[in-house]
């Protein structure tokens, strides 16, 4: 029975992995090395600002290992969601690192760049043509929301990646792609069935997270006509039926179904069995083709933030921390509106008391006084200078704010001098919508060039 082997060295490009893991995957017959380069998980900044989360050095170290070993074995290297958010800038940045490494290592590589960024004009045309619909819990898209996006990407499926491999690419640098597409493209291109191909891809997309030791690096997935097998690439970890089945539910609102541009994966009837003490066999995964859709992600600037941090250890203040933080917040907001001539709509002031209820807010039911609190005063305004001015105005009050019944001014423990920290721009995710397309590779653009020597 024909088999396709995909080496997934880690859950994210830049996370790091060992040369031995890649060697083992190649020795086991790996047909490609595939890795995800990003997601929305780190928040709206990376898409809104088109900036990567990981340093170039970390990305380059992982790329170098994959490129050198992939070239020696004659197998392609596939990266998706380049530069964290998969913007065109991110694709060009990672492709530039590939070109540098190829030159340094004396490799001649055919590199495909697949762009997935969408202009606001394109999205407005699709909206006018009635091709965009909301996903829960979003409302119908408006032209105003499109206008607020600084960057918009569409999530590619396997089709543009398969086309790039068909065109002879040794390296594919994809813009925003589903986490699974970079992996599933390899078995699908070799004619393996869609159910096992997509389910294997979902299982392996976070590397060793589908194993008993999430620190355990990468995995090899082997897809055939009846199912797939998971084989961890590092000796320190093992795949078990439970560890593999449990990963299907990770970061997935629905544990049975996963939508891809070309259809939906259904694992309701999947069966997980141990082949031995480290490998797991999965059968019964189904994929139903559906009219193609491309999911959109968009992020836009909504303001700038500055902050300051004060440590509180005084038990008297900690016993009434709710009164203290509310008094401080309301006083600073009123002071800023007065002195800076702002209106309520121009300004947001929050005091987040880490150590008390900063994480859960009003959902926190723990009534015990905290042992220590880090009070973070955050101001959000239309520009950085204004946000910083608000925190400067707040400085003496964050330092000395007494409880209402106190007859002295306490002083709290500031983190730094200056106390105010300009935190930078604040972005917001604005799109939770899909485009109905005529074909799954619609909206994506591929350029191929030779790099290195």
Partner 1 sequence: MTPTPAPSPVTVGDVASLVRSKNAGPFWQTLDVFLPDDEAYRRVAEAPGLDAATVAAAYRVDPAGVRIFHLPHIRVVKISFPRPTTQGGVHDRDMHAGQQHVPLARLPLAP
Element (H or E) spanning 399, and its range?
helix 384-400
Report the 10 Å Cβ neighbour count for 258.
Answer: 22
Q: Does 41 bind partner 1 (CB under 8 A)?
A: yes
By the rule CB under 8 A, 432 interacts with partner 1: yes
Q: Does 1 bind partner 1 (CB under 8 A)?
A: no
Q: Give min distance, CB of 378 to partner 1, in A.
A: 9
Binding mask 373-412 for partner 1 (x = CB under 8 A): -------x--------------------------------
Check binding of 425 to partner 1 (CB under 8 A): no
Token pair, residue 128, equals: 């006018």
Q: Is 276 in the site for partner 1 (CB under 8 A)?
A: no
CB of 240 vs partner 1, minimal distance in Å:
11
Going by their DSSP bridges, the two strands 132-134 and 433-436 should be labelled as: antiparallel
Scanning residues 62 to 91, which ones bind partner 1 (CB under 8 A)?
A: none
Q: Which of 1, 253, 368, 405 binds partner 1 (CB under 8 A)?
A: 253
Helices (H) and strands (E) in the chain, counts: 13, 22
Which one of residues 249, 273, 290, 415 is an interface residue with partner 1 (CB under 8 A)?
A: 249
CB of 387 to partner 1, least distance (A): 12
Q: According to the binding rule CB under 8 A, does residue 23 interact with partner 1?
A: no
- The HSE-up count of residue 130 (CA atoms within 13 Å, CB side) is 0
Instruction: Report DSSP letters for 128-182, one per residue.
Output: HTT-EEEPTT-----HHHHHH-SEEEE-B-SHHHHHHHHTT-SEEEESSB-TTHH
250 binds partner 1 (CB under 8 A): yes
**Number of C-beta neighbours around residue 80 at 10 A:** 31
CA atoms of 37 and 90, how far apart (whole Å) = 10
Q: Judged by CB under 8 A, which of 331, 397, 414, 429 binds partner 1?
A: 429
Q: Choose which of 64, 110, 131, 256 interacts with partner 1 (CB under 8 A).
A: 256
Quote the DSSP letter at residue 279.
-
Q: Which is nearer to partner 1, 189 or 356 (CB)?
A: 356
Taking the least distance from each CB to partner 1, the nearer of 51 and 302 is 302
- Closest approach, Cβ 407 to partner 1, in A, equals 34
Stretch of residues binding partner 1 (CB under 8 A), selected from 107-115, 331-339, 398-406, 427-435? 427-435
Residues 333-362 as x/- pattern, contact with partner 1 by CB under 8 A: ---------------x-x-x-----xxxxx
Residue 266 burial (CB count, 10 A):
18
Q: In this structure, which long-range contacts are made by residues 319-326, counting pairs with CB atoms below 8 Å and at least 24 apart in sequence?
A: 319/369, 320/403, 321/353, 321/356, 321/369, 321/370, 321/373, 322/356, 323/403, 323/404, 324/401, 324/403, 325/351, 325/353, 325/356, 325/375, 326/351
Q: Is 40 in the site for partner 1 (CB under 8 A)?
A: yes
Cβ count within 10 A of residue 56: 15
| In the complex, least distance from residue 62 CB atom to partner 1, rounded to whole angstroms | 22
E strands, 67-107, are: 77-84
Quick one: 77 or 381, whose CB is closer to partner 1? Answer: 381
426, 434, 435, 451: residue in contact with partner 1 (rule CB under 8 A): 426
Span between the terminal Cα atoms of the chain, in Å: 38
Among 14, 38, 44, 90, binds partner 1 (CB under 8 A): 44
* Residue 252 beta carbon to partner 1: minimum distance, rounded to whole angstroms: 6
Q: For the CB of residue 34, give the shortest distance to partner 1 in the complex, in Å.
A: 22
Residues sharing a CB contact under 8 Å with residue 61, sequence separation 6 or more, in sequence order:
14, 16
Binding residues among 118-177 for partner 1 as defined by CB under 8 A:
135-138
Hey, what are 149's tokens? 């996006």
In this structure, are residues 419 and 393 in contact, taking their beta carbons and an 8 Å threshold? no
Stretch touching partner 1 by CB under 8 A, among 7-15, 83-91, 409-417, 420-428: 420-428
Token digits for 322?
A: 């709710």
Q: Does 326 bind partner 1 (CB under 8 A)?
A: no
Contact positions vs partner 1 (CB under 8 A): 40-45, 135-138, 242, 245-246, 249-256, 272, 297, 302-303, 348, 350, 352, 358-363, 365, 380, 426-429, 432
């Amino acid at each position: 029975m024909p088999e396709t082997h995909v080496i997934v060295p880690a859950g994210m490009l830049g996370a790091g992995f060992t040369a031995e893991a890649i060697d083992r995957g190649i020795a086991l017959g790996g047909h490609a090395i595939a890795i995800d380069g990003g997601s929305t998980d780190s928040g709206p900044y990376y898409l809104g600002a088109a900036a990567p989360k990981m340093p170039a050095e970390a990305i380059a170290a992982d790329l170098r290992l994959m490129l050198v070993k992939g070239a020696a074995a004659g197998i392609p290297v596939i990266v998706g969601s380049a530069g964290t958010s998969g913007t065109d800038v991110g694709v060009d940045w990672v492709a530039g690192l590939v070109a540098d490494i190829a030159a340094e290592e004396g490799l001649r590589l055919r590199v495909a760049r697949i762009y997935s960024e969408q202009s606001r004009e394109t999205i407005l045309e699709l909206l006018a043509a009635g091709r965009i619909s909301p996903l829960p819990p979003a409302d119908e898209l408006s032209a105003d929301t499109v206008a607020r996006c600084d960057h918009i990407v569409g999530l590619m499926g396997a089709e543009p990646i398969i086309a790039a491999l068909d065109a002879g690419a040794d390296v594919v640098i994809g813009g925003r792609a589903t986490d699974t597409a970079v992996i599933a493209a390899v078995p699908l291109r070799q004619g393996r069935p869609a159910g096992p191909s997509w389910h294997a891809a979902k299982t392996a997309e976070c590397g060793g997270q589908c194993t008993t030791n999430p620190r355990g690096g990468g995995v090899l997935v082997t897809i055939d006509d009846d199912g797939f097998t998971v084989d961890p690439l590092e000796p320190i970890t093992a795949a078990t039926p439970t560890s593999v089945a449990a990963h299907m539910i990770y970061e997935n609102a629905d544990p049975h179904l996963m939508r891809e541009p070309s259809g939906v994966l259904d694992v309701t009837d999947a069966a997980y069995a141990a082949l031995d003490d480290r490998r797991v066999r999965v059968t019964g995964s189904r994929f139903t083709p559906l009219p193609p859709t491309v999911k959109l992600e968009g992020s836009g600037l909504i303001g700038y933030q500055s902050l300051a941090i004060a440590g509180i250890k005084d038990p008297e203040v900690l016993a009434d921390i709710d009164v203290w933080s509310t008094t401080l917040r309301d006083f600073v907001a009123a002071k800023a509106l007065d002195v800076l001539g702002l209106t309520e709509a121009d300004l947001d002031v929050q005091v987040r008391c880490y150590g008390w209820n900063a994480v859960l807010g009003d959902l926190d039911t723990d009534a015990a006084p905290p042992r220590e609190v880090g009070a973070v005063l955050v101001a959000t305004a239309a520009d950085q200078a204004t946000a910083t001015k608000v925190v400067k105005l707040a400085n003496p009050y964050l330092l000395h704010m007494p409880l209402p019944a106190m007859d002295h001014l306490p002083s709290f423990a500031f983190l730094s001098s200056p106390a105010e920290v300009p935190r930078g721009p604040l972005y917001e995710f604005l799109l939770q919508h899909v485009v109905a397309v005529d074909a799954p590779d619609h909206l994506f653009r591929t350029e191929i060039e030779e790099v290195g020597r």
